[in-house]
Amino acid sequence: MSLLHINRVRRRRLGAATAAAGLLATLLTAGPALASPDPGDGPTQKAKVSSGQQAEDRSAITSGEIPGVDEIVHSDNVEHLVNIPKGALKGTNTDISFQGKYAYAGNYDGFTIYDISDPKAPKTVSEVLCPGGQHDVSVSGDLLILSTDSSRSDNSCNSTSQSATVKESWEGIKIFDISDKRNPKYVAAVETACGSHTNTIVPERRNVYVYVSSYGPQAAYPDCQPPHDGISIVKVPRKAPENSRVIDFPVLFPGEGPDGGGNPGAPTNPGVSKTTGCHDITVLPSKDLAAGACMGDGILFSIKNPERPEIIDRVQDNVNFAFWHSATFNQGAKKIVFTDELGGGGSATCNAEVGPNRGANGIYDIVGKGDQRKLVFRSYFKIDRHQADSEVCVAHNGSLIPVKGRDLMVQAWYQGGVSVWDFTDSSKPQEIGFFERGPVRLDRVTTAGPWSSYYYNGHVYSNDIAKGLDVLKINDKRTNPAKRIRLDELNAQTQPDYFDDDHGRDD
């Protein structure tokens, strides 16, 4: 960080913190009638910040140690091109996928399709209103897969919140035909056990396999019973998506007892989530590998047969990891970056009290060959730009920046902003650029900032929970070679081989 000039603001590292303008959208209904956003699917109200903490944060703003309310700051090598505020969908913004000149951005109320052919001036093509949350999104060909992880009255886009204790309630994946970007069509739905918190696709010529991650079973939930130590696999025929169905529920953590064989969590491992399923899975089809971030466990597994995944290795970190959230392979599948969603994405954890290891990324080398491969821990990486006590900050979704011979990544940190970092040396990762906004407010802990930040065809696209879509450009000799790489499609959880002619083009 010492090489980075920061606009006006001197960053706080050892502080005492404790704890383009309005585009008209075409609103599309994906059901027989207009649905209304359901506030029951949004984030819960956050805790108040004490007057003493507020005073400390105001002092830090005055001295330039942290940015002011809504102030934008960034390193010299990161340029903020544009922000597109939310349109008709006012819920929480979530994940993003890409295809050609289009970006597909999830939102608790549905999803938005943007035309990003001009990254400096993205245009809203359509908005699909279909409340349900959290709406992780993946695309393949003419199909869009949307995850619903909130219990609904039915599978329509006019559904309302309904308790998971009711047998008729619905959660799972919705499938849309996106061949007409201005008029996406809702074509199918598949109910999955405990819903679909996230989805990861393994595309093939005739079918799209969808790995559905979900968790949180309870005996009172008819369709979400413990133990829930696996994932749902949904097979989606490209030419007949209406015939999509669950084909298997492989158990990833076999074991005796009502909770299965995953991490038992507290009291055995205090401060660690009990594994009752997976939060997110990343696949690397070119290597027949997948990495699972599964609450209290990290796993490496083979997907040579996408219908029959097999575990290769499993790791835990019962000292510093609270909730294994997501995973990213490096190019060549020699490393995995696992993220920790400390505080569940609802707490101010980027401060001196929490420290540099808890809530950090964990970098693991993959050593050995074949079924004997092992995950070996090398280091932690966490942004050292401390945030205000009112700012929810957590390691979240990111992607590789494709540069041969280097391991570079862009990553969202909620109100910690967007981090550009280098983990070429697994033991000595370092941040090389950033973009962030100051706190939304100082009196209450708020959830805002980038949910997902991905590098796609020369630019970074960041879906800000509260502010809308941001487009960034990185100007740095270390990342500039990536600007020559062009993809036809990117789902960050379905990692391409960037230097394989079948997946990317080095122009």
- How many Cα atoms sit within 13 Å of 4 on the Cβ side? 25
> Rg for the chain (alpha carbons), in Å?
21
What are residue 481's phi and psi, to 5 degrees?
-60, -25
**463 phi and psi angles, rounded to 5 deg:** -95, 100
- Of 28-42, 99-113, 301-315, the poorest mean pLDDT is in 28-42
**Residue 116 identity (one-letter amino acid):** I
232-241, 271-280, 428-437, 494-503 — which is least confidently predicted?
Answer: 494-503
Q: What is the pLDDT of residue 21?
A: 26
Cα-based distances in Å from 156 to 105, 109, 168, 283? 20, 13, 13, 29
Query: What CATH number did the domain enclosing 342 receive?
Result: 2.130.10.10
Of the chain, the percentage scoring pLDDT greater than 90 comes to 86
Inside any domain, residue 19:
no
Supply the mean pLDDT for the chain: 90
User: Mean pLDDT lowest for which of 57-66, 371-380, 409-418, 489-498?
Assistant: 57-66
Please name which of 206, 202, 150, 210 lies closest in space to residue 175, comparing C-alpha atoms: 210
**Overall number of domains in the chain:** 1
Q: Is residue 348 situated within a structural domain?
A: yes
Residue with the bigger pLDDT between 487 and 500: it is 487
Q: Is 138 left (phi over 0), alpha (psi -120 to 50) or beta?
A: beta
Q: How far apart are CA 440 and CA 170, in angstroms?
A: 34
Structure tokens that stand for 69 in this block: 């309310």
| pLDDT higher than threshold 60 for residue 39 | no
Mean pLDDT confidence for 154-164: 97
- Are 363 and 379 within 8 A, CB to CB? yes
Report the pLDDT value the prediction gives residue 47, as an integer from 0 to 100. 85
**Is 354 a member of any domain?**
yes
DSSP string, 441-504: -SSB-B--SEEEEEEETTEEEEEETTTEEEEEEE--TTTGGGGGEEESEEBTTB---TTSTTTE
Residues 365 and 342: their CA atoms lie apart, in Å, by 22
Q: Above 50 in pLDDT, residue 23?
A: no
Specify if 9 maps to a domain: no
Flag whether pLDDT at 407 surpasses 60: yes
Residue 460 confidence (pLDDT): 98
In a domain, 13, yes or no: no
Given a contact cutoff of 8 angstroms between Cβ atoms, the answer to whether 433 and 401 are in contact is no
Lookup: tokens for 50:
């004490």
* pLDDT level of residue 45 (50, 70, 90 thresholds): low
For the chain, what is the total number of helices (H) and then of strands (E)? 1, 33
Q: Is 203 exposed, middle or buried (0-12, 13-18, 19+ CB in 10 A)?
A: buried
CB 342 within 8 A of CB 4: no
3-state helix, strand, coil in the chain (%, to 5): 5, 40, 50
Band of residue 376 on the pLDDT scale cut at 50, 70, 90: very high
Residue 315: inside a domain, yes or no? yes
Please give the DSSP secondary-structure letter assigned to residue 483: G
- Mean pLDDT for 188-217 is 97
Phi-psi region of 343 (alpha: psi -120 to 50; beta: other; left: phi over 0): left
Q: Residue 376 CB: number of other CB atoms within 10 A?
A: 15
- Across residues 345-352, what is the average pLDDT? 92
Neighbours of 384 (CB within 10 A): 14
Task: Look at the chain and count its residues.
Answer: 507
Average pLDDT over residues 347-374: 96
Record the pTM. Answer: 0.92
Q: Is residue 14 part of a domain?
A: no
Q: What is the 3-state secondary structure of 197-248? A: CEEEEEECCCEEEEEEECCCCCCCCCCCCCCCCECEEEEEECCCHHHCEEEE
Residue 441 sits in which domain range? 27-506
Q: What is the mean pLDDT of residues 294-321?
A: 97
Q: Is the pLDDT of residue 44 over 90?
A: no
Q: Say which amino acid occupies 388.
A: A
Residues 6+ apart with CB under 8 A from 305: none
Residue (of 258, 255, 379, 391) closest to 311 by Cα position? 255
Question: First and final CA of the chain: distance in angstroms?
Answer: 32
Sign of CA dihedral 179, 185, 188, 190: positive
Q: Is 75 exposed, middle or buried (0-12, 13-18, 19+ CB in 10 A)?
A: buried
Contacts of 267 (CB under 8 A, 6+ apart): none
The H or E element spanning position 58 is helix 51-62
Query: What whole-number distance in Å separates Cα of residue 174 and Cα of residue 187?
Result: 8
Write down the pLDDT at residue 500: 75
Q: 502 pLDDT exceeds 70?
A: no
Where helices occur in 250-379 by DSSP H, the ranges are none
